[in-house]
Structure 1
């Protein structure tokens, strides 16, 4: 009788309490094709890391790119907001924000909350996942209680809509056992030696299969992806558009997850994740170059204008930390007085660098080039 390398889920309608613990047998995924794609993904990610490190003001990337990652990851969960609504909400940062924009901003905060949590300690733990989840959902809820019946069902309106496609483990003791195994796998690089990109892909699947929370597991798992890459030094700051690839290949993403639980198909799952890392590293690299090029070009343009601007570098850096700027931003940062800030922003509108917008009685100044780059 052939050896069973991975015990698949025998019944998708019954809680998968026997979800195999990590690690995964290498025979299930280690092929020439996988190793070649690993090399491609590592090269693309290393190029992105090298580019981001040499940028003097990483605030250019931190706000703009992580905000887009938050928007895209939320869209995977059918939480949609327009760029204008999101950038306005981020610019305002008030308690008046509601709806989809608020959900997206919570994701961004969770991304940074997880990043800072891991900077303050040398390991992952269950508390890390709980804190990220709580930030996303703005709740004090923790691991699913024993009485809760949770099943993942087919979405949409087709003939299979509403059918159960997966039932995660049930019971807090079992869920905690699986999570304990997951964090041990993440932290112990001596006993679980493998490339970090293999490890993040395997861990992402395992977290989604455990499905420890009532809701928000998908977004928590995608925050983890980026936090893991920064924790392991593969990224300096969380600036990867990883959710872009998942959104564009949403069916393949969910098919890959199901392929592991139903057929033990780890090879296709790892190929998907490695392709996602490679592709999104490339497009993030391109966007960084476009942002930096646009910033430098606008700075040079302002310096050549006959009407001199005081502290042009500080002004342009502020304009590129988010698409919508307000007079208040320049005043609060201590760069200019209110009158000077308003005069300079209006002058940049005359030069077609910015576009003035009035929304709900408030004035915003849209950085046209930054908006274009992020929207493409």
Structure 2
């Protein structure tokens, strides 16, 4: 019987883990039947989602709606909260002003980071240090980059129990150390010949490694969750970064932190990888259902609108109101669909039909798609 390989853990939670092992890890640390059974289920779920999303003619429907909710929930994991109404209103305005709260701005920056990172990888073709720095700077609206040598970061126990506030982990320290770890991580992500060869397994390992490196002063959790989605799109499992992964982490938040700590403290890669595979399986199916629900709602509303026979280009009109939860007259005029009076008349008619709900917020008029909002929220 072969001996289980040893993974060098962090012996002292109060000391920077500068000996964090480089990647790859020994494949024997995660080779077992349970992991590969769960891997099969997760791959099946990803295939369902990928197949459904490719068939959607209006990709903006997913680009805006799913990623906006992912941004909201991923930020909530880090205790950055915004109300749904505030978020959708600010997003519909496409600008930040004095009326937009700091948490709402931070959530919207997260969404922008998803798309900026996606475009970066399309243009550059590979992960590199600038990819990570750009994500961090976009999310935090910061100019600094990797933590300076004098900056020691501690991860503390959350919650309100007896251990709340205690240090549970101290990431590596020193700019050159952090740079070495990140360069090793980018090589691991970019080189398909480095095992594991299953992208979902590689994503799980890479996510732990990034969180263990913890290269920035703040926002590491959000950067790491964006990395998950971007790696899966680059690996070809998704065409667009629309996996609603943060929903599972919110619902199983303590397990997320416990299994991360299990790797650094005990070398328990099995529990961590199983957690991530279950997260992918669950959220791919959840996202798939949401996509179907959105499309079904869109088709039902289009049929009702076409029966009215008073709308020009009804298909484009319904596409527009399903692109984001709050629509404004300017969205239709800026897209070149209608003149201002026609756009306002159509939106008011949709309000009268019960398709939209007209609302005045701080002197501005918005038309809320309640059906879309309900699908996204639950």
| TM-score normalised to structure 2 length | 0.97
RMSD: 1.0
2:307 to 304, 316, 320: 304
1:99 is aligned to 2:99: no
Aligned to 2:169: 166
Distance 1:31 1:114, change over 3 A: same
Aligned to 2:203: 200
1:127 to 125, 130, 154: 130
Residue 368 of structure 1: CA displacement? 1.7
Residue 98 of structure 1: CA displacement? 2.8
Q: Distance in 2 between matches of 1:3 and 1:45?
A: 31
1:365 to 363, 367, 376: 367
2:227 to 224, 229, 245: 224
Q: Distance in 1 between matches of 2:96 and 2:46?
A: 37
Q: Distance in 1 between matches of 2:165 and 2:353?
A: 55
Greater shift in the superposed pair: 90-99 or 244-253: 90-99
1:79 is aligned to 2:97: no
Distance 1:99 1:42, change over 3 A: same
Secondary structure of 1:229's aligned partner: helix
Greater shift in the superposed pair: 355-364 or 94-103: 94-103
Q: Distance in 1 between matches of 2:82 and 2:234?
A: 30
Distance 1:189 1:112, change over 3 A: same
Q: Distance in 1 between matches of 2:368 and 2:156?
A: 41
Aligned to 1:70: 71
Q: Distance in 2 between matches of 1:3 and 1:296?
A: 55
Secondary structure of 1:200's aligned partner: helix
Aligned to 1:238: 241
Residue 4 of structure 1: CA displacement? 5.0
Secondary structure of 2:372's aligned partner: helix
- Structure 2: tracts of 5 or more residues without a match: none
Is 2:157–2:166's contact at 8 Å kept on the other side of the alignment? yes
Secondary structure of 1:120's aligned partner: helix
Give per-residue Cα distances to partners, 1:66-89, cap 9 Å, x unaligned.
Answer: 000000000000111111111001
Give per-residue Cα distances to partners, 1:125-145, cap 9 Å, x unaligned.
Answer: 111101101100011111000
Q: Distance in 2 between matches of 1:81 and 1:3?
A: 46
Aligned to 1:334: 336
Aligned to 1:347: 349
Secondary structure of 2:357's aligned partner: strand
Aligned to 2:183: 180
